[in-house]
């Protein structure tokens, strides 16, 4: 048994566990590094300790000070844990959209949680970062960790995570796979492994589909802590300085659906309970292993446990609300009522331009039209966050006739409609929407977390009436 004199001494030294059932039939050995064995439950414990120690050394953080950070959860938990042990106050800025378990963990470690949900670009005064910076400026002794840009983040992994993997595989590791959020984990670990192997180890970034790291448009995804999102109205896409691009040899994109499915299968088939970003890394590692040989050893890094995702990726109701369907049921769903993408116009268009662009049949002139940000001005499924509002062609024509042709179309749109998962039974969807949104007229229909169409209350009521008549006829 190993004895530790403090909880922070127990950070690191996490196990490598071989994947058997999910990797059955693959020639390489595939391992997962279980970073949720750290005391705070994630890989971010390493970076948290490294950042705080570096700040103590350079005088940025002094006794009695306050540790401040913007985070999707795990880094905040790590900072709160280390701060609690070392006697610092911890104040964490995050969004209420993160898993409820993470917010509870932050409170459990004594951190003060400040929720900021404004959907604005990073440089906006209402953004998470701006709120944290104001707090630091107004609070004597406050220090912001700055995980996205501090060298202490990747350095923590270069000093510990990489050497551990090298030692535990006896230098046999050939491929290292990890997701990139701040980029610190993959950069520090990857550089260390490349150095130890004299450049032989290949470093693969498992990136959520849509992340701008691998060439996506930066649109929002459902996997927390992985990839890089860009607000649709941001003037530039600023990447973290903690992400060292020269370390990464290749990118493999993984959809939210694939990551969630692999995470759920890992729990049920291999007994390994993974978080979403870990599902992303393992999904990429398994795909990579399909083209490798028996002498290869693939290590996927699991940043955290599925215990922090029991209310999200492992909750069938949460998944159903967002249109993630993992069964083959023949029961009727909204999919049978949504046969085409909803018409859409971009927020930057004028009323006159929108009217000219919308070529709808007269019977559809009153139908809902999504008002979307510029990057979603096409026909591909889009995230709900990219919908700024909803309008009808009839309404735009009236505005045009009233002389408002030069107004931006978004000025005449109502609020964005509620959302409903495509796998819902029509009667269940109608009852749920009526209960949650009594005044709803239309709802965006989600498949795998993205809008694939719009359904109106009128359509659902008509379907319900027809179903009732058919039932009575039988």
Question: Does 122 qualify as catalytic in the annotation?
Answer: no
User: Which CATH number does the domain housing residue 159 bear?
Assistant: 3.40.50.1100
pTM of the full structure = 0.93
- Pick the last residue of a domain from 292, 317, 342: 317
Weakly modelled stretches of the chain, pLDDT under 70: 1, 468-474
Determine, yes or no, domain membership for 325: no
Write down the pLDDT at residue 126.
86
DSSP class per residue in 104-131: HHHHHTT-EEEE------TTSTTSHHHH
**50 and 86 belong to one structural domain:** yes
- Separation of first and last alpha carbons in the chain: 70
Positive or negative CA dihedral for 257, 219, 386, 304? positive
Residue 284: partners with Cβ closer than 8 Å, 6 or more residues away: 177, 204, 206, 252, 254, 300
**66 and 128 belong to one structural domain:** yes
**178 and 224 belong to one structural domain:** yes
- Pick the last residue of a domain from 120, 144, 168: 144
The values of phi and psi at residue 19, to 5°, are: -90, 125
**197 and 234 belong to one structural domain:** yes
Per-residue CA distances from 75 to 22, 86, 222, 249 (Å): 29, 16, 18, 26
Where in the sequence is the domain holding 244, given as residue range(s)? Answer: 7-38+153-317
**235 and 119 belong to one structural domain:** no
**138 and 204 belong to one structural domain:** no
Distance CA 50, CA 213 (A): 25
pLDDT tens-digit profile of 78-111?
A: 999 999 999 999 999 998 888 888 899 999 999 9
Write down the pLDDT at residue 2.
81
**442 and 296 belong to one structural domain:** no
Distance CA 455, CA 445 (A): 7
**451 and 416 belong to one structural domain:** yes
Write down the pLDDT at residue 471.
62
User: Which CATH number does the domain housing residue 442 bear?
Assistant: 3.10.580.10
**313 and 171 belong to one structural domain:** yes
One of 33, 44, 102, 194 is an active-site residue; which one? 44
Distance CA 57, CA 48 (A): 14
- Pick the last residue of a domain from 125, 144, 163: 144
Q: Produce one character per residue of 179-215: b if its CB has 16 or more CB atoms within 10 Å, e if not.
A: bbbbbbbbbbbbbbbbebbeeebbbbbbbbbbbbbbe
């Amino acid at each position: 048994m190993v004895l530790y004199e403090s909880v922070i001494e127990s950070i690191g030294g996490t196990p490598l566990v071989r994947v058997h059932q999910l990797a059955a039939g693959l020639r390489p050995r595939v391992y997962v590094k279980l970073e949720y064995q750290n005391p705070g439950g994630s890989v971010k414990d390493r970076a948290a300790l490294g950042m705080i120690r570096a700040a103590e050394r350079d005088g940025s953080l002094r006794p009695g000070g306050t540790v401040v950070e913007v985070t999707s959860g795990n880094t905040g938990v790590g900072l709160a844990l280390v701060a609690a042990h070392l006697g610092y106050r911890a104040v964490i800025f995050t969004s209420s959209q993160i898993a409820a378990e993470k917010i509870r963990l932050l409170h459990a470690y004594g951190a003060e949680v400040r929720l900021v949900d404004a959907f604005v670009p990073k440089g906006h005064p209402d953004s998470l970062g701006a709120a944290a910076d104001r707090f630091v400026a107004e609070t004597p002794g406050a220090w912001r960790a700055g995980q996205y840009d501090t060298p202490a983040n990747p350095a923590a992994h270069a000093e510990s995570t990489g050497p551990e993997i090298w030692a535990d595989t006896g230098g046999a590791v050939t491929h290292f796979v990890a997701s990139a959020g701040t980029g610190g984990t993959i950069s520090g670990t990857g550089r260390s492994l490349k150095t130890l192997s004299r450049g032989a180890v290949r470093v693969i970034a498992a990136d959520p589909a849509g992340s701008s790291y691998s060439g996506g448009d930066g649109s929002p995804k459902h996997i927390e802590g992985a990839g890089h999102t860009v607000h649709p109205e941001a003037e530039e896409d600023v990447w973290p300085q903690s992400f060292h691009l020269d370390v990464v040899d290749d990118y493999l994109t993984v959809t939210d659906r694939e990551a969630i499915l692999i995470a759920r299968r890992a729990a049920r088939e291999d007994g390994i309970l993974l978080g979403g970003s870990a599902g992303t890394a393992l999904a990429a590692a398994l795909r990579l292993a399909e083209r490798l040989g028996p002498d290869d050893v693939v290590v996927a890094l699991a940043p955290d446990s599925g215990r922090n995702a029991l209310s999200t990726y492992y909750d069938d109701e949460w998944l159903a609300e967002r249109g993630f369907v993992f069964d083959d049921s023949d029961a009727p769903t909204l999919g049978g009522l949504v046969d085409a993408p909803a018409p859409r116009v971009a927020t930057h268009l004028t009323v006159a331009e929108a009217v000219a662009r919308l070529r709808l049949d007269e019977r559809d002139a009153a139908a809902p039209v999504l008002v979307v940000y510029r990057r979603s001005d096409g026909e591909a499924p889009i995230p709900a966050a990219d919908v700024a509002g909803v309008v009808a062609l009839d309404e735009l024509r009236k505005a045009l006739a009233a002389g408002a042709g030069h107004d931006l179309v978004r000025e005449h749109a109502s609020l964005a409609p509620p959302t409903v998962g495509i796998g819902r039974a029509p009667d269940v969807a109608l009852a749920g929407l009526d209960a949650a949104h009594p005044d709803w007229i239309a709802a965006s229909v989600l498949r795998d977390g993205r809008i694939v169409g719009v359904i109106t209350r009128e359509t659902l009521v008509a379907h319900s009436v027809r179903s009732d008549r058919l039932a009575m006829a039988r």
